């Protein structure tokens, strides 16, 4: 399957906060393909709309795939500060307590409910509930 976004879409100024590392640059094409596949599974009519040349749907699919990959890359970077899969570790000395909070997102590709609903609304032609895919931090 042809990905809905390219590495150039991801690295367009303003979409990603820094230059990609060599490791990320090597991984991004596969991540774009995986995110596109996952999006096509969640939205069965997406490929048909893209094949029909619906420019709004094409752009929305690109933005969602970029958002999924960006979220994953930034989560992976953040995980390096503690340990992979661990979001927070706390210890107390008296009366002896240790707490570990495991991360629910350790770099996996995923969609938020509102992102999915916005794309589905666009496909239905219900633009009243379609919202921006760009938000601060993602």
One digit per residue, the tens of pLDDT, for the chain of length 138 reads 899 999 999 999 999 999 999 999 999 999 999 999 999 999 989 999 999 999 999 999 999 999 999 988 887 776 565 555 556 667 777 887 777 665 555 567 888 888 899 899 889 887 665 455 555 555
pLDDT (0 to 100) of residue 67? 93
Q: Which DSSP state fits 129?
A: G
Residue 102, classed as helix, strand or coil, is strand
Structure token pair of residue 95:
């009366």
pLDDT (0 to 100) of residue 136? 54
The CA R_g of the chain, rounded to the nearest whole Å, is 18
pLDDT (0 to 100) of residue 111? 85
CB 1 within 8 Å of CB 37: yes
List of residues 6+ apart from 11 with CB closer than 8 A: 19, 20
Query: How buried is 13 (Cβ within 10 angstroms: 0-12 exposed, 13-18 middle, 19+ buried)?
Result: exposed
pLDDT (0 to 100) of residue 53? 96
The backbone region for 19, taken as left when phi is positive above 0, alpha when psi lies in -120 to 50, beta otherwise, is: beta
pLDDT (0 to 100) of residue 78? 64
């Amino acid at each position: 399957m042809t990905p809905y976004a390219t590495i150039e879409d991801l690295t367009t100024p303003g979409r990603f906060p820094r230059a990609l590392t060599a490791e990320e640059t090597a991984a991004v094409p596969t991540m774009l393909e995986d995110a596109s596949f996952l999006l096509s599974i969640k939205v069965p009519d997406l490929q048909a709309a893209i094949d029909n040349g619906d420019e709004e749907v094409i752009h929305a699919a690109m933005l969602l795939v970029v958002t999924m990959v960006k979220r994953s890359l930034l989560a992976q970077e953040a995980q390096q500060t503690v340990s992979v899969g661990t979001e927070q570790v706390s210890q107390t000395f008296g009366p002896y307590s240790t707490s570990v909070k495991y991360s629910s997102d350790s770099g996996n590709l995923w969609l938020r409910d509102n992102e999915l609903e916005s794309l589905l609304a666009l496909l239905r032609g219900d633009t009243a509930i379609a919202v921006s895919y760009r938000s601060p931090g993602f």
